[in-house]
């Protein structure tokens, strides 16, 4: 007789998460559960707290909102903003929309990738910086624009980019 597998009784949703991450996910759920269309606010809450949406958080979010894991996975992957892997300590978002491209964003992108040694969605070897593309930060009059963490920066030249990154690295 060939080896047969037993589908285990579903483990408790989210039990694979480390306790602190699990607590953060639970908090994001508790804060938004009652809202209509709670899924997006919950996912934002999770990413705000942890910097990403861990794969194992999906089961917990799905269970608590009474959705299937597939549904939550579909939403997480649809939005580029939601990240499935832990980012570096600083997330740098570089605008690639038309207005910024018109004033040097393409060159800035090339410089950023070269100086950090990573492609988009990549994290530097020291775990300090994750580089992400973004399509319009609403700062078109002052492009090229970059967000370093929560802070928006306009008129970013390659030199200024290096300086901002050096400052960020120095803070943590």
Q: Residue 121, CB half-sphere, CA atoms under 13 Å: how many? A: 6
List 16, 39, 49, 67, residue binding other proteins (CB under 8 A): 67
CB of 72 to other proteins, least distance (A): 8
CB of 97 to other proteins, least distance (A): 16
Confirm or reject binding of residue 55 to other proteins (CB under 8 A). Answer: yes
Q: Give the Cα separation of 145 and 160 in Å (integer).
A: 11
Q: Residue 144, CB half-sphere, CA atoms under 13 Å: how many? A: 25
Contact 61, 39 (CB under 8 A): yes
List 36, 70, 166, 172, residue binding other proteins (CB under 8 A): 70
List 73, 89, 160, 169, residue binding other proteins (CB under 8 A): 73
For residue 77, give Cα distances in angstroms to 54, 82, 96, 120, 131.
12, 7, 20, 16, 18
Confirm or reject binding of residue 167 to other proteins (CB under 8 A). Answer: no
Interface contacts to other proteins, rule CB under 8 A: 4-9, 55, 58, 62, 66-71, 73-74, 77-78
């Amino acid at each position: 007789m060939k080896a047969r597998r037993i589908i285990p009784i579903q483990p408790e949703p989210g039990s694979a998460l480390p306790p602190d991450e699990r607590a953060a996910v639970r908090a994001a759920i508790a804060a938004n559960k009652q809202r209509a269309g709670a899924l997006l606010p919950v996912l934002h809450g999770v990413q705000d707290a942890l910097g990403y949406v861990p794969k194992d958080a999906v089961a917990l979010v799905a269970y608590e909102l009474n959705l299937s894991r597939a549904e939550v996975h579909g939403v997480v992957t649809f939005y580029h903003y939601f990240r499935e892997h832990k980012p570096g300590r600083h997330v740098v978002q570089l605008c690639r929309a038309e207005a910024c491209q018109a004033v040097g964003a393409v060159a800035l992108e090339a410089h950023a990738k070269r100086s950090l040694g990573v492609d988009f969605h990549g994290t530097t070897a020291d775990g300090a910086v994750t580089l992400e593309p973004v399509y319009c930060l609403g700062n078109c009059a002052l492009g090229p624009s970059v967000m370093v963490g929560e802070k928006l920066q306009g008129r970013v030249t390659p030199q200024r980019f290096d300086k901002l990154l050096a400052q960020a690295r120095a803070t943590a």
